[in-house]
Chains A and B, each alone.
Chain A
Amino acid sequence: MKKSRLRFIAPIAVVTALALAGCSTSNLGGTADADPAAEAGPIKIGAVLDVTGVGASLGVPEQNTLTMLAKQLNADGGIDGRDVELTIVDNQSTEDGAAKATSKLIESDKVDLIIGASRTGPSLAMRPIAEAAKVPMISVAANIAIVEGSQWVFKTAQNDVVVIERILDDAKAKGYTKLALVRDATGFGEGVADYITKLGAERGITLVMTEAFEPSATDFTPQMTNVRGSDADAVIIWGINPSAGLAQKAYVQLGVNKPVYHSHGISNQAFFDAAGDAANGVIAPMGRLLVADQLAADNPQSTVIDQFKADYSKAYSEQPSGFAGHAFDAWHIAVNAIDAVGTDPEALRTELETAKWTGISGVFKMTAKNHSGLDASALILAEAEDGRWNLLKD
């Protein structure tokens, strides 16, 4: 009986009608309930993180950190007596998930500021949306492209360019002239080969081959077989975990015995979980968090790092990762700026451009030109040994 379609409209009508409430023009670009509440009520901070999917090893500790910090802040009375309402949305490690989440946070939740995403690709997807809506955004991902030329977007992870320079300097010092790159195929690894070629030329280092892997990859035999056959002196594996750890494991198991550098994308326990003993001897530039116990006593970051490690391990009974540190810095930079100028977007943006913060990932000095705020001093070189990192060079 196909005739009476009315009865199929009826459920739609009922569902919709049930869900409807009130009457406003806020869905039509009106601002019925946004502005009057803006300077009262809770301060709304949204976060878009890679909680699930390939970026989960980054997003989960970031989510933990933000949740913990929001709780602490509200327990301490919030900002100027206003509570901070933190909304974390999982982008499932996808670009359009990130874009959707950003639109939702801006349009539905009317957030004052957005933190995220965990990785470069989703952050790039969020950028035009935040810019169009004129909402300040602080990414916790690495690639410089996230902030380059942007007025509204900032980031707290160390720039990949700086990381590459660190690696190349060390390679030059050790006399390597030919490097092979095995990189993440997503946004995090894009552009890395170009930088190595460009920055390597100044140091007499050439990039002899580039291989790529998906962050979801589990088999690295083809890439590592090709690397093994190349004439490179050393290899850079550029990725996040678990894939970077698995790549390292395959590298060792296939008997490639060239020195290996990794990026700062591996600064968490997941690297050792995935790579196991194969991690020994890996050299990577990273923030100071993972070698906090080996820092000089007068290091300006020591206090904040120690406090964070204590708080985090108390709350989650595990040690924080470098990514947790990126979220920690983003949160504090955001809160400090809101504390100073309130939630007016333009004022907040201007304030963020002058932000100074001694944090986990380094000592930040934002400027109108530099929305990243970290220089090479934010990074140290460390070598992996039996599941921990040894500080090589501060």
Chain B
Amino acid sequence: MTHATTPVPAGMRSPGARFWMNNKSMLIGCGVLVVLMIVVPFTASSSVMNIVVFAMIFALPAIGLNLLMGLAGQVSLGQAAFFAIGAYTHAILLTKLDLPGPVAATIGVLAAMLVALLVGLPLMRLRGHYLALATLGLGFIVMIGVREWDVTGRTTGIYGISRPTVFGIPIDNNGFFLWFVTPFVVIGLILALNLTRSRAGRALSAVNDSELAAESLGVNTYALRLKVFVLSAGFAGLGGVFYAYQVAIVSPSTSEFHLSVSILLMVVIGGLGSVWGAVAGAFLVQFLGEGMRDIIPAIFPGATGEVQLLGYGIVLILVILLLPGGLFQAATTLWQKLPFGGKRPPVDAHAHAAEDDTTIPQLPAVSTPVAAGEPILVISGLTKRYGGVVAVNDVSLSVPAGSILGLIGPNGAGKTTCFNMISGALTPTSGTVTFLGQVISGRKPHVAAAHGLTRTFQNLQVFTSTDVVGNVYMGRYRKGSAGVLRGMLGLQSSEQSAHRAASYEILASMRLTDAADDSASDLSFGKQRIMEVCRALAAEPALLLLDEPMAGLSGAERDVMAELLRRLRAAGLTIVLVEHDVAQVMSLADHVAVLDDGVLIAHGDPESVRNDPAVVVAYLGTDLDEAEAELIELEEHA
């Protein structure tokens, strides 16, 4: 049907619809919407017409909020505030300064975005609830502001806004108005759809799956969220501009809480993260509201006022309880139940990757800007305290480029804490981490990633909402450059297909091609771990931090992994790995560092560390059985 029709680049199999959306269905969708909107004024009754016009106006803030909630995972309960800022600015410029409509409208949208930027700068650093309630507070502040300010007409607002004129035709009826709004909604829709599948959009959905992993791949979560917040306010502001035109008055009630609730409802009904769902939701909520206003007084005689809230409340609760994905989820489920829909086209599983397992796969690219042997990572005096507990105590060491450093130590020795401080996930209490001559400690992980440091995680951080190749593709984030704007304009397809090809190649190097299109969460634990290594390699790092890369892997898989790491070292990559499998570490590493109780007790080549009495005691001192086992291993190796 409409899916899987993207032309597939030669040599690559169709990835299906899971990760790569296609342009064709977007164009068909927009086409249908446009045709409908052209036809509606000729056929609809005037009351339906009224609903349709408002649905199209509110589709704009709903699309914006959907980007924020679905993509950036942030809740705003103050979407009406930005709607009102757009509407008021527009109205004031039109009625008091007599500016031309397009100018006033543009300034209106920009004003909404500017306020969002100012508010977002501090607020986007906070998580979850706080942004929601702070934006709710913002809504009240805007409402109070416009009510108390002479320029905004106080409680009465700004009235007497004249309808626009386009090419000499006055837009003085609902039909013309609908045609006036539709192009803007369609453009907004396309921009939003483009964004969801752009580099930035994918990064945001990765952030929702695992903020830690996304940041360690170079995603600046804060900046991206802020951009989407500002963008979402822009959509709301544009909606407000049209609202001011349509209603001919802007009053404090445009910033009302219940308006924010209804916009939120549109997004929730439509389905979080589905841009089309937001548009559908806008229509549904408008019809629902109108319907409830008719039905409820019939059921409850004498009921007056905003009785539609009864329906809003019930629907909000039921959708989250029963259908968290909204209409989008319902439609998807329905589609999959249809005999002709849903199933993904049978892919030729071996068309591309059925290379003989004996052939040596191509090696992922490595980018090391310093000569082998030069220090690439220098740690000095690294310390982390939690209250009175010292997790890592004054650790200093240096890693030469092109070598493998194994970091070992008993459980709770502070290995992962050390790792987290190197990668930027934790801020050291004191001490510094210098990578390629830059101090990166205390900065966010994406800073380290930007310099070429990537990592994997002991507790897997898989992007569960996408497939395997999608995960690896995220590793390419640092190699791309397209931002939010380019993403919205759809100007990154060549960049994307190059990264896509690279992602498949990297999967091939770890013999994961067969699983490329599987959902990442369906993979076995070992395969997920390998996938994470692929993801980290996709970033073409100069330094790779591996947190227990062998855990959960089968013997064969371990061999593949070890072989890959050796070849990567040969290609110039520097690797630091934390590993329980001491035998593997000893055979792989050029140097071994041993942590015990947060203190670096030994550091040197495997041979000297193995014979270091302090190491033996450390292993003995923690757990007798484990230490014995380790010792036997060490002996065997010797």
Contact = CB atoms under 8 A, between A and B. Distances in A.
A and B touch in the complex (CB under 8 A): yes
B22 to A, nearest CB: 6
Interface string A33-46: 00000000000000
Interface size class of B (residues with CB under 8 A): 35 or more
A84 to B, nearest CB: 21
A121 B146 CA distance: 14
B251 A16 contact: no
B335 to A, nearest CB: 5
B48 A4 contact: no
A296 interface: no
A12 B160 contact: no
Interface stretch (A19-27, A220-228, A236-244, A383-391): A19-27
B248 A99 contact: yes
Given A9-B32, A12-B33, A29-B175, A2 B154 contact: no
Interface stretch (A101-109, A163-171, A249-257): A101-109
A259 interface: no
A1 B332 contact: yes
A125 B50 contact: no
Given A4-B335, A8-B276, A185-B147, A95 B156 contact: yes
Contacts of B334: 7
Interface in B285-332: 287, 304-306, 327-328, 331-332
A313 B220 CA distance: 69
B305 A5 contact: no
Please classify the interface of chain A as helix (H, G, I), strand (E, B), loop, or mixed, using the class held by over half of its residues. Answer: helix
B128 interface: no
A185 B46 contact: no
Contacts of A26: 46
Contacts, number: 202
A103 B247 contact: yes
B608 to A, nearest CB: 55
Interface in B60-111: none
Interface string A309-334: 00000000000000000000000000
A27 B251 contact: no
Nearest to A145: B156
Contact of A11 (B26, B48, B280): B280
Nearest to B45: A21
Interface in A132-161: 132
B40 A8 contact: no
Contacts of B44: 16, 19-21, 27
Nearest to B163: A132
Contacts of B160: 128
A309 to B, nearest CB: 22
Contact of A125 (B36, B251, B332): B251
Contacts of A29: 172-173, 175-176
Contacts of B251: 94-96, 99, 121, 125
Contact of A51 (B173, B280, B305, B341): B305
A27 B32 contact: no
Q: Which of B40, B250, B276 has the most CB of A within 10 A?
A: B276
A167 to B, nearest CB: 23
A127 to B, nearest CB: 8
Contacts of A22: 43, 45
Interface in B1-52: 1-4, 17-18, 21-22, 25-26, 28-29, 32-33, 36, 40-52
A27 B174 contact: yes
A23 B42 contact: yes
A15 B335 contact: no
A124 interface: yes
B119 to A, nearest CB: 24
Contacts of A185: 147, 154-155
A52 interface: yes
A187 B342 CA distance: 58
A356 B176 CA distance: 42
A2 B159 contact: no
A143 to B, nearest CB: 10
B156 A121 contact: yes
A45 B284 CA distance: 30
Contact of A19 (B42, B48, B174): B48
B154 A190 contact: yes
Given A20-B40, A99-B247, A3 B49 contact: no
Contacts of B41: 25, 27-28
Contact of B253 (A20, A52, A97, A128): A97
B52 A16 contact: yes
A355 interface: no
B572 interface: no
B283 A3 contact: no
A294 B215 CA distance: 81
A121 B249 CA distance: 11
Contact of B159 (A3, A108, A128, A214): A128
Contacts of B176: 28-29
A6 interface: yes
A10 B28 CA distance: 11
A16 B40 contact: yes
B368 interface: no
A96 B157 contact: yes
Contact of B25 (A5, A13, A124): A5
A77 interface: no
A92 interface: yes
B394 to A, nearest CB: 50
B274 interface: yes
Nearest to B276: A8
Contacts of A120: 156
Q: Which of A21, A28, A96 has the most CB of B within 10 A?
A: A96
Interface string B251-269: 1111010000000000000
18 contacts: A2-B17, A2-B274, A4-B335, A6-B29, A8-B331, A10-B331, A20-B40, A21-B45, A23-B42, A26-B46, A27-B175, A99-B248, A107-B174, A121-B155, A128-B160, A185-B154, A185-B155, A190-B154
Q: What 8 A-B pairs are tightest by C-beta distance, nearest first? A: A52-B305, A95-B251, A3-B17, A5-B29, A8-B276, A28-B175, A94-B253, A27-B175
Interface of A: 1-13, 15-16, 19-29, 51-53, 60, 90, 92, 94-100, 103-104, 107-108, 120-121, 124-125, 127-129, 132, 185-187, 190, 214
